[in-house]
Structure 1
Amino acid sequence: MIYKTARILAATAALSAATLASQLAFAEPFALRISGENPLAGLDMQMAQRFGENLETALGDDFSHEFFHTQALGDEVVHMQMVRSGQIDVYPLGSDAVQLDPKWAMFDMPFLIGDRNDVARMLDGEVGEALRASMRDAAGLEVLAFGELGFRQITNNVRPVAVPADLEGVRLRVPGSETRVLTFQTFGASPVSMNLGELYLALQSGTVDGQENPLADITARSFEEVQEFLSISNHVYTPVTLVMNAAKYDALTPEQQAAVKEAAQEAAEYTRQLGTEADIKLLEELTSSGDIAVNEIDRDAFVEASTPVWEAIGGIAGQEFVDMVVASAQQ
């Protein structure tokens, strides 16, 4: 009887110790290193900053973080290495996400996404879940949420772009994405990959003729100062893929993980709203300033020219996945 009682007491003590350890694990503050290469004015860095602020509000003294921007820790190549190795914990990926997972090539399918209603339905739903699972497998990163860099536009110093033929021979800077390069080769341009931080001087010196980015990035980096023509194309939509090192995420308690996901989703929706408002405001400012000539493209001509790109991306991202994406976009 004494032996049985002792076993019960020992088991109870072990359970109490485990419960206390679990409580302490949640109570213990956790810290994150959040970093990106772009200036703070960019939507990617605003999303990352908002994410950190949301966690501070939700967790108070149970959370702390370091926040770096404007290439304080390096360029986009360095950041992709650092988040995978655990040197930083959270990184807002832009177009270069496709270098880590070929499924992100879907965002290089020109004229796939029509408006931000498509964005919310697709990325907060079935397409987003497929992308999350794929990035885990491909790169060991947990996708926290999809924010916004926005719909991309074309600027250059050669001529206004209205139809694909207008891009013939234009040396256009594009991100380090095989499928973005393919897109503009198909349209007749001569795409050049280079780091975004080098682009202003390259445009100013004539090393490249033009570039393609959302309006918020164009103005944040003052590209309108060194470009003559802005063509409103909305050719692709680029999300901010806010990722966390998977080992870091898995080490959090379930409560902390829930707080992280909630903070990230609110930050995502915040940047989408900022993007909507910025597109309206910035287009008005650029049009009225007279510093850069603004024109609309012939969308139908570009859609017709995009067929080979869609077919090629099906082979890169996986045809079954691309079929699901197209079906979702057409709902």
Structure 2
Amino acid sequence: MSKTNAIQIRMGGYGPASTCFSKALVFIGDRLKAEFGDQVDIKYVWNIMEFGYRSEDILWLVESGVLSLGYQSSSYLTDRVPELGFVDLPFLFSSKDQARGAMDGALGSTLAQKIEDRVGYRIVGWLENGFRHISNRVRPVRSPQDLAGMTIRVLPSDVQVRTFELLGAQPLRWDLTEALAAIVAGKIDAQENPLANTVTYGAHKYHPFHTLTGHFYISRPIFICRAQFDSWPKPLQEAMRRAATDAVVFQRALAIEEELEARRAIDAEGCTVEELTLDEHANFERAVSPMLVEAEKAYGVSMLRSIRR
């Protein structure tokens, strides 16, 4: 089959080619090329922000078919799929194993179906963005009181806004593009991200104070333009699903090493890293405890109890 007749599969993201997310895309592409050869034509756009897009634009770029496949933190879809707010709840998971099991199991399947019911995607897996921590330019943070009055960028999720309101900060629902510019300009006090993201986007060069709160665990669905996916031959659809499943395992392993490398980079920058005691961590959980009552009303008691320890 000639290149002109090959099925075009364009994969995109919003980070450098060196990240575990970009490498997961390559994993998928290599698997498909090995199986289908010149029947497919794979292309990559590592970072759409380098072309003037906002990070959130990956959503419509894939839904409209400009890109075939992308990833994005699930929080960006909560306005269209309110059920995704459940996995934005603070301190929902106590370990990576618990979180991964939930996202690979019934919870992940339910949320994938909710997305497909409302958005023009096929969901083929959940990449790990991981546990998120706080960095800031003002002072060390070891208690919710230390966050009082700080402006902090959060993902576009009402649940995350509510979380940081309860913690005493002033949350700003900003796209990553806005947040990065504000951090460099010193116009925002704090941000929250996995350590790897904090380093990838350079926030540690402007924020000397870091606290390992682990307040949210966020996943990034791998989503495919439904119109394109559904038009593919069945063997290609099935191969894509298998490749994505294996890419998730591959990416999560890389993410562990990325986190260790990020911690080394933060230390090398001369930043302070606060590791909370159990009692200090419990203070953060208590501060957001009203959200449990709200969550039971919003999502149901059984759903919450099936996840929480």
Q: Cα deviation per residue 1:165-212 (whole Å; 9 max; x = unaligned)?
A: 111111001121111111101110001122212333312322100100
TM-score by length of 2: 0.90
- Out of 87, 91, 96, the position equivalent to 1:111 is 91
- Residue 305 (structure 1) aligns with: 287
- Residue 197 (structure 1) aligns with: 177
- Out of 31, 42, 50, the position equivalent to 2:8 is 31
Deviation at 1:99, TM superposition (A): 3.3
Task: Give RMSD over aligned pairs.
Answer: 2.1
Contact 1:164 1:302 in 2 (8 A): yes
Q: Cα deviation per residue 1:229-267 (whole Å; 9 max; x = unaligned)?
A: 000111111112100112222222221111001111111
Work out the CA distance in 1 between the residues paired with 2:14 and 2:195: 18
What secondary structure, in the 3-state scheme, does the structure 1 residue paired with 2:227 have?
helix
- Residue 142 (structure 2) aligns with: 162
Amino acid at match of 2:25: A
Aligned positions of 1:139-158 closer than 5 A: 139-158=119-138
Aligned positions of 1:1-331 closer than 5 A: 29-70=6-47, 71=49, 72=51, 74-94=53-73, 95-287=75-267, 289=268, 291-297=270-276, 298-316=280-298, 318-319=299-300, 323-324=302-303, 326-330=305-309
Contact 2:58 2:71 in 1 (8 A): no
In structure 2, do the counterparts of structure 1 residues 38 and 78 end up closer, same or farther at CA, with 3 Å as the change threshold? same
Deviation at 1:158, TM superposition (A): 1.4
Which structure 1 segments of 5+ residues have no match?
A: 1-23
What secondary structure, in the 3-state scheme, does the structure 2 residue paired with 1:99 have?
coil
Work out the CA distance in 2 between the residues paired with 1:326 and 1:40: 39
Work out the CA distance in 2 between the residues paired with 1:326 and 1:290: 41
Work out the CA distance in 1 between the residues paired with 2:21 and 2:82: 21
Amino acid at match of 1:268: V
Point out the structure with the larger helix share.
Answer: 1
What secondary structure, in the 3-state scheme, does the structure 2 residue paired with 1:242 have?
strand
TM-score by length of 1: 0.84
Q: Cα deviation per residue 1:49-92 (whole Å; 9 max; x = unaligned)?
A: 33222222232222212211222372233221222222222110
What secondary structure, in the 3-state scheme, does the structure 2 residue paired with 1:154 have?
strand
Q: Which range is displaced more, 53-62 or 115-124?
A: 53-62
In structure 2, do the counterparts of structure 1 residues 214 and 257 end up closer, same or farther at CA, with 3 Å as the change threshold? same
Deviation at 1:41, TM superposition (A): 3.4
Instruction: Report sequence identity in percent.
Output: 25
Deviation at 1:329, TM superposition (A): 4.4
Which structure 2 segments of 5+ residues have no match?
A: none
Work out the CA distance in 1 between the residues paired with 2:271 and 2:156: 26
Q: Which range is displaced more, 91-100 or 113-122?
A: 91-100
Contact 1:145 1:242 in 2 (8 A): yes
Larger gyration radius, structure 1 or structure 2: 1
Q: Cα deviation per residue 1:274-316 (whole Å; 9 max; x = unaligned)?
A: 11222233224423x2521110232111111222223334455
Amino acid at match of 2:300: Q
Q: Cα deviation per residue 1:77-111 (whole Å; 9 max; x = unaligned)?
A: 32212222222221101131323311221221111
Contact 1:158 1:209 in 2 (8 A): yes
Work out the CA distance in 2 between the residues paired with 1:192 and 1:164: 17
Deviation at 1:119, TM superposition (A): 2.3
How many residues were matched structurally? 300
